[in-house]
């Protein structure tokens, strides 16, 4: 009697389990059918086609963007290389023109090159002997008359083309703060300081350093004019 009761209980438990399984299976089949139906409707509907088309276009654009960007970078790189090549070609042409110009100037007849002679004038145009011992600064009195006398010489003689500036030192041992400068260097500094003042006030005037001079108790410079004959 007890065995019969147990078998009845087992059968009763199995039936609900089977019924639940069938219910879930039917629901799953129904859900799949609904999904396929919606998919079919969506694919054949105009709105669905547009959405799919837009998605495909968006994906294609994303795929094409790196390729276009790479192409743009390569194009910019090629353009930069071309620009540099053109600049180099232009520079080579300029150098060739300059070389040709120099070659033509050196090939001129000797008679034309020796047609004019530049000579120094005997008289002194300007001079200054009152610089301090071991110094090369130009005193104010000499500075005021320096450019005035050169301007006057240019107005009086149109053949003057250049001025020679000679630095002058006395015959005493050098007493400056830099013993390595010595007398020769001091004279050169005095000449170049005068040339600098001339170029500053008269930029179109040609001035150059001449041989240094040593004279008793004289410290400064002396200026001569050169003319064309």
CB atoms within 10 A of CB 104: 9
List, for residues 30-82, the tens digit of each pLDDT value.
778 777 666 666 566 655 556 666 666 766 665 555 555 555 666 666 776 77
Question: Is 225:160 a contact under the CB 8 Å cutoff?
Answer: yes
Please report, for the chain, the start and end positions of each structural domain, with discontinuous segments joined by +: 2-44, 118-228
Beta bridge partners of 127: 222
Write down the pTM of the prediction.
0.48
Alpha-carbon span 127 to 168, nearest angstrom: 10
CATH architecture for the domain at 118-228 = 2-Layer Sandwich (3.30)
pLDDT of residue 9: 47
List, for residues 160-207, the tens digit of each pLDDT value.
999 999 999 988 876 666 655 677 788 889 999 999 999 998 888 899
Checking if the pLDDT of 142 tops 50, the result is yes
CB atoms within 10 A of CB 126: 22
Alpha-carbon span 50 to 43, nearest angstrom: 10
**In the chain, where does DSSP find H-type helix?**
2-44, 46-106, 110-113, 140-156, 182-201
Least confident of 15-19, 102-106, 160-164, 191-195: 15-19
């Amino acid at each position: 009697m007890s065995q019969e009761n147990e078998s009845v209980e087992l059968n009763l438990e199995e039936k609900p389990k089977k019924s639940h399984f069938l219910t879930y299976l039917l629901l799953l089949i129904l859900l799949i059918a609904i999904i396929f139906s919606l998919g079919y409707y969506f694919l054949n509907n105009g709105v669905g086609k547009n959405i799919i088309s837009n998605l495909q276009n968006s994906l294609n654009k994303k795929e094409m963007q790196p390729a276009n960007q790479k192409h743009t970078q390569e194009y910019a790189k090629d353009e930069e290389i071309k620009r540099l090549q053109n600049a180099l070609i232009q520079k080579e042409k300029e150098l060739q023109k300059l070389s040709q110009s120099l070659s033509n100037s050196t090939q001129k007849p000797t008679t034309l090159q020796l047609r004019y002679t530049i000579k120094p004038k005997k008289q002194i145009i300007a001079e200054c002997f009152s610089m301090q011992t071991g110094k090369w600064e130009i005193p104010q009195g000499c500075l005021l008359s320096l450019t005035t006398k050169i301007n006057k010489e240019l107005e009086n003689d149109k053949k003057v083309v250049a001025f020679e500036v000679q630095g002058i030192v006395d015959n005493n041992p050098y007493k400056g703060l830099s013993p390595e400068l010595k007398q020769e260097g001091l004279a050169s500094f005095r000449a170049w300081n005068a040339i600098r003042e001339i170029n500053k006030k008269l930029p179109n005037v040609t001035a150059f350093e001449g041989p240094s001079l040593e004279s008793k108790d004289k410290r400064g410079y002396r200026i001569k004019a050169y003319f064309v004959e």
